């Protein structure tokens, strides 16, 4: 960490591409794409997408048209970029201008579209996608698809992170039934966890997301993925206080005896969730320390009383995410999931990218 930077977010692109190859190996010949929506899960689309392309990825999934345009700016013509939310009425021309492929989610989008696209089927999520009754309409009126080149038929698993859930098999069966009613086309169903459910979920193209970025694909199993993200901050100040003194807004933490409190320059404005107040934890030299008091906009406070004084001095590094702080455990403490922690990462950190495709150049 540079001397003049108080906080650094490190993204390990070599670990990211190793995670991509992990999924490729599990797919045994099925194509492996990548979800790079939400600025590549907070890790930086302009760095992540080219790194994945260099690893052999040719299929990229974003949520919105604007994300698709950003992805096209850093990916060459070999990359297929799919926009999951589909075309908003009046935006169709922009898809062609930037060589983007929409996921068509309803009959209205299908009616307005001409050209290559993905048909998105709702197999049980009840969000986006054509429900069974609309698939039945397409089967009965195939001329509705006359001007569309169906590149893929896709759906999305709702419970793949819990392999024992019966919804997984039910969605698989319904997806197969719906696909059989439509013109023959390659199919895509599996996300990160779906890939690990087994080959029956693989079809022709898989779309890993959270696993690429180091999150655990499963809710209650050991994480097989390599760590990609590490957030570190330098201690700004250490205070020695004693009862009945308090820490932070609302005097919400009252010490019960002599204590040392370290303040770090990270807060909810940086995406460090306020819900971790009194619940969060960090690591200093491999030793876990508790977050005390309320998280404020720019600062958090840690109880470092159990550490030797020399281990917690101004300027010393603290791991807040990654390193010895597991992203899924921290997310659970915050009452959320790793996806939200990653996609909330702020812009005030100094960002550092590691790996050959990044040339270790900071942004």
Q: What per-residue confidence (pLDDT) applies to 5? A: 86
Residue 191: closest CA among 84, 39, 34, 22: 34
Asked whether this chain's domains 33-213 and 229-354 adopt the same fold, the reply is: no
Q: What per-residue confidence (pLDDT) applies to 363? A: 45
Backbone angles phi, psi at 107, to 5 degrees: -65, -30
For residue 199, how far is the Cα from the chain centroid? 23
**C-alpha angle 220/322/161, rounded to 5°?**
25
Beta strands 100-104 and 115-120, pairing class: parallel
Which tokens is 72 given?
């096209």
Residue ranges covered by each domain of the chain:
33-213, 229-354
User: Which residues are marked as active site?
Assistant: 37, 249
Task: Profile the chain (363 residues) by mean pLDDT over runs of 10 residues.
Answer: 83 98 94 98 97 98 98 97 96 96 97 97 96 97 96 97 96 98 97 96 98 94 96 97 96 96 98 97 97 97 97 97 96 96 95 74 42
Residue 258 CB neighbour total at 10 angstroms: 10
Domain 33-213 has CATH 3.20.20.10: yes
Fold of 229-354: Lyase, Ornithine Decarboxylase; Chain A, domain 1 (2.40.37)
- Answer yes or no: are the C-beta atoms of 267 and 298 closer than 8 Å: yes
Q: What per-residue confidence (pLDDT) applies to 247? A: 96
- Answer yes or no: are the C-beta atoms of 255 and 245 closer than 8 Å: yes
For residue 20, how far is the Cα from the chain centroid? 14
Give the DSSP letter string of 323-348: TTB-HHHHHHHTTS-HHHHHHT--SS
Q: Which helix (H) or strand (E) holds 174?
A: helix 166-180
Give the DSSP letter string of 210-222: GGGGT--SSSSS-
């Amino acid at each position: 960490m540079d001397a003049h930077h108080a906080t650094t977010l490190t993204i390990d692109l070599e670990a990211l591409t190793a995670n991509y190859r992990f999924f490729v190996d599990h797919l045994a010949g099925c194509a492996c794409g990548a979800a790079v929506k939400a600025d590549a899960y907070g890790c930086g689309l302009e760095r992540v997408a080219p790194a994945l392309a260099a690893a052999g990825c040719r299929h990229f999934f974003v949520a919105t048209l604007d994300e698709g345009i950003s992805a096209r700016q850093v990916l060459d013509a070999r990359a297929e970029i799919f926009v999951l939310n589909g075309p908003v009425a009046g935006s169709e021309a922009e898809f062609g201008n930037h060589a983007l492929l929409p996921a068509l989610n309803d009959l209205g989008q299908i009616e307005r579209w001409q050209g290559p696209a993905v048909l998105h089927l709702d197999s049980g999520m009840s969000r986006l996608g054509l429900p069974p009754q609309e698939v039945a309409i397409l089967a009965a009126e195939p001329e509705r698809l006359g001007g569309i080149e169906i590149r893929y038929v896709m759906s999305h698993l709702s419970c793949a992170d819990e392999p024992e859930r019966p919804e997984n098999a039910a969605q698989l069966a319904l997806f197969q039934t719906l696909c059989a009613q439509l013109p023959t086309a390659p199919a895509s169903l599996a996300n990160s966890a779906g890939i690990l459910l087994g080959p029956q979920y693989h079809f022709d193209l898989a779309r890993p997301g959270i696993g690429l970025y180091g999150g655990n694909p499963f809710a209650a199993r050991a994480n097989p993925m390599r760590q990609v993200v590490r957030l570190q901050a330098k201690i700004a100040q250490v205070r020695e206080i004693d009862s009945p003194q308090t820490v932070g807004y609302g005097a919400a933490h009252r010490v019960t005896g002599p204590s040392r409190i370290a303040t770090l320059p990270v807060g909810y404005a940086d995406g460090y969730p306020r819900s971790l107040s009194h619940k969060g934890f960090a690591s200093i030299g491999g030793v876990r320390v508790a977050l005390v008091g309320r998280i404020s906009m720019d600062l958090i406070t840690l109880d470092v009383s159990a550490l030797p004084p020399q281990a917690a001095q101004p300027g010393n590094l603290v791991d807040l995410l990654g390193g010895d702080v597991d992203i899924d455990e921290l997310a659970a403490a915050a009452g959320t999931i790793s996806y939200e922690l990653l996609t909330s990462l702020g812009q005030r950190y100094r960002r550092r990218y590691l790996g050959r495709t990044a040339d270790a150049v900071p942004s």
